[in-house]
Amino acid sequence: MRPDHVWRQLHELLSSARKRVVLVAPFIKKEVFLAALAAIGDRDVELLCVTRWAVMEIAAGVSDPEIAQIAEQDDRVTIVLCHDLHAKLYVADERCLIGSANLTGRATGRRLPKNLELLVEVPVEHPEVQSVLKQIQQTSIPADAEMARQLREQANLLVSDVDRPDFVVVVDEVDSARARWRPETRVPLRLYRVYRGMKCDYPNEILAGVARDLAHLDIQPGLDETTFSQAVRSRLYELPEVAALATKGKINLAELQQSIMAADGCEEEMAQRAAENIAEWLSYFDEVRIVPTGPWEIRQGREFT
């Protein structure tokens, strides 16, 4: 089998399109996206591209949000994002390929060493294919060049972070890295400004810390501030230490520190800082109050004066 067998399958499929193409892949590289457009040629074919843009994945180099700039120059192309996308399927009119291959050089065999991948042709009417396409229609959000710019800037902060050069992990390790996360940014109001690509005069080390928090939070792009805050709050309550607040209604500093030390095996000073950061985030993103009780406690509910 030729190294570029998967690409030859895709090229033949795209070359056959006369009305509609749908490209669904979590990872899409600019070079392969351009090659896909070249395979379609100048025919008047509607092209829907469905992908996901996560800061950590962009920083790792497996996905290029710059495909949005290409789309802006071609009015046939629409790009939408599905944050939890894992499916890979490619549609040309009534034909469909499904399998494991993303639109990257190694996945398609256009670059060596290649991945071991699989694409199989099925009818586009297959119930599972239709189910995925329906869910995409219901959950996707439009992407544009401005959103791509914001995410690239956040990814660049991670890559250029000289204090944490090993932060950009292998993509397969993203979930485990996310599970070990604790809030790093001391001032949580900075998060949304960087998330939306607003002008910020923060020092580089602070910007890098914000970018690390945003990468671990892994919140879908394009949210308004209220929805963003709700997403951050939900992520906070995924932390085991904070989940105790939801069940007991309060947690104190000593308990929070001990829990972090036990989970992370870190020094007391580091655990104290992590506990204080969690308290700052909860105060900002949730209705909690910090109450002095010897070692202070975080309690649910607003503080009334």
Please name each of the domains of the chain with its CATH number.
Answer: 5-143 (3.30.870.10), 147-300 (no CATH)
For residue 292, the model assigns a pLDDT of: 56
Task: List helix spans (H) across 101-250.
Answer: 105-108, 127-139, 145-159, 174-179, 190-195, 204-217, 225-236, 240-248
Residue whose entry in the numeric block shows the structure tokens 């239709």: 130
**Tens-digit pLDDT profile for the chain (305 aa)?**
788 999 999 999 999 999 999 999 999 999 999 999 999 999 999 999 999 999 989 998 999 999 999 999 999 999 999 999 999 999 999 999 999 999 999 999 999 999 999 999 999 999 999 999 999 999 999 999 999 999 999 999 888 765 554 555 444 444 544 557 889 999 999 999 999 988 788 888 888 899 999 999 999 999 999 999 999 999 998 988 888 777 777 777 787 888 888 888 888 888 889 889 998 999 899 877 666 555 556 666 654 33
Show the tokens assigned to 169. 């992990």
Query: pTM for the whole thing?
Result: 0.80
Contact partners, residue 288, CB within 8 Å, separation at least 6: 245, 282, 298, 299, 300, 301
